[in-house]
Amino acid sequence: MGIVSLGNPSQIDHTILIERFKNGEIEAFEEIVNKYQKQVYNIAYGFIG
């Protein structure tokens, strides 16, 4: 029997959050915002900074 890889756990989490949001779960969008808001802010600040 071989080893089964489920992929990168954070990528799986990201994919699940996107699917939940696409299915209308507002809470999933809130999780996405909380997870990525600092990165988005830093990128935007880099453009205008």
Residue 2 lies in a domain: no
Residue 34 lies in a domain: yes
Of residues 3 and 43, which shows the higher confidence score?
43
Tell me the CA distances in angstroms from 21 to 1, 6, 39, one per residue in order.
36, 22, 20
Instruction: Evaluate if residue 5 carries a pLDDT over 90.
Output: no
Residue 41 lies in a domain: yes
Residue 3 lies in a domain: no
pTM above 0.85, yes or no: no
Residue 19 lies in a domain: yes
How many structural domains comprise the chain? 1
Residue 18 lies in a domain: yes
CA–CA separation, 49 and 42 (whole Å) = 9
Which structural domain, as residue segments, surrounds residue 17?
9-48
Contact by Cβ (8 Å): 40, 47: no
Phi, psi of 7 (to 5 degrees): 90, -175
Residue 1 lies in a domain: no
20-39 confidence digits (pLDDT tens): 999 999 999 999 999 999 99
